[in-house]
A and B are shown apart, each in its own frame.
Chain A
Amino acid sequence: MNAPIKHRVKPQMEGNVPVATQTFLQENYVTLEEVENYIFRFEKRYGVSTSDYLKDQTVRSRIPEDDAFKWEAYIDHRRELQRISDETRREYLSGLRDSKSRDNDPAADLLLAA
């Protein structure tokens, strides 16, 4: 059995400004690639695709509760990480369009010269 772990939370300050603080939480920031890998492992373990797992109640009821909890959490994480990825791509592309339109704008050249 593991020995008890002792934590203390002490806000750190730089002057009057709080900076990164300690936390009781062990944080692991997951990536889309990692999450997809976890989902793939569940699909392989139970021989069923995620879409079949979500659609078919009989398939779902065969999965132990612990794994069902984790699988569904990863599906949700994947949705969220894909949303962020799509949003980032959209913003990047709109940034490219803006800079192209600025390139063709004579007023922008005048502004640059000034």
Chain B
Amino acid sequence: MNYFEFKRDFDKKRGKLKLPTDCHEQMPPSVEVASQYGWTFEWILTFDDHKYLRIREHHGKIAGLLDAVRKSFAFHYGPITGKDFDGNLLWAPTDPVEIRIDTSPHPAHMHFGAPEPHIQQESVLNLKLETISMFIFLKAILKHRQSGVPINEALRFQIKVTP
């Protein structure tokens, strides 16, 4: 997918999305573009109950091909723990989290209910962490907030309990 395809797809999905009235764009969907084969996306939504959702993706060129792939990402939902002087949200790895799926470090893993442990793909059933899309994540969080459905049910995954 190149940048123009990403942009078209994002605009289409964002156009269909209705954000609830308690949801605000702390940072509108923003993108730093190096070329049609390299861009970094960020979007921060805050909620009136002092929670926030942050989406970050970096896409880069596939060597030898005129095409790009998502190389890293972080989808985060949890309580706001602080803001800096300019009103930007502060974040630390030890902050409480409801759910975070990220690739830092690779491979994609999940934090669920707490910053630790890093839950690896083999312990997550029915959800492919590496390929999850931002809108699937976002819609699940909105569903969870609106209906009270647990996040794991909204995203339809289970955590495998190891003895």
B is a partner of A: yes
Chain A residues with a Cβ under 8 A of chain B: 1-5, 7, 9, 21, 23-30, 35, 60-61, 64-66, 68-70, 72-73, 76-77, 79-81, 83-84
A60 contacts across to B, CB distance below 8 A: 105
Complex CA distance for A28 and B74, rounded to whole angstroms = 20
A1-B46, A26-B31 given; 19 more Cβ-contact pairs under 8 Å = A2-B25, A4-B23, A24-B15, A25-B7, A26-B29, A26-B30, A28-B32, A29-B33, A64-B92, A69-B74, A76-B60, A77-B32, A77-B60, A79-B61, A80-B34, A80-B35, A80-B61, A81-B38, A83-B61
Q: How far is the CB of A62 from chain B (nearest CB, A)?
A: 12
Question: How many A-B residue pairs lie within 8 Å, measured between CB atoms?
Answer: 99
Complex CA distance for A84 and B34, rounded to whole angstroms = 10
Whether A1 pairs with B24 at a CB distance below 8 angstroms is yes
Which of the residues A68, A69, A80 comes within 8 Å of B37, measured between beta carbons?
Answer: A80
Whether B38 pairs with A80 at a CB distance below 8 angstroms is yes
Q: List 25 A-B contacts (CB under 8 A).
A: A1-B26, A1-B87, A2-B26, A3-B24, A4-B23, A4-B24, A7-B28, A9-B11, A23-B7, A23-B11, A25-B7, A26-B28, A26-B29, A26-B30, A29-B32, A30-B32, A30-B34, A66-B91, A73-B32, A76-B34, A76-B58, A76-B60, A79-B61, A80-B35, A80-B60
Whether B31 pairs with A84 at a CB distance below 8 angstroms is no
Chain B residues with a Cβ under 8 A of chain A: 7, 10-11, 14-15, 19, 23-26, 28-35, 37-38, 40-41, 46, 56, 58, 60-61, 71-72, 74, 87, 91-93, 102, 104-105
Complex CA distance for A27 and B41, rounded to whole angstroms = 9
Q: Which B-chain residue is minimally distant from A11 (CB atoms)?
A: B11
Whether A9 pairs with B31 at a CB distance below 8 angstroms is no
Whether A76 pairs with B24 at a CB distance below 8 angstroms is no
B91 contacts across to A, CB distance below 8 A: 66
Whether B10 pairs with A69 at a CB distance below 8 angstroms is no
Complex CA distance for A37 and B67, rounded to whole angstroms = 26
Whether B28 pairs with A24 at a CB distance below 8 angstroms is yes
A80 contacts across to B, CB distance below 8 A: 34-35, 37-38, 60-61
Whether B93 pairs with A65 at a CB distance below 8 angstroms is yes
Complex CA distance for A21 and B11, rounded to whole angstroms = 10
Whether A65 pairs with B61 at a CB distance below 8 angstroms is no
Which of the residues A30, A35, A64, A69 comes within 8 Å of B58, measured between beta carbons?
Answer: A69
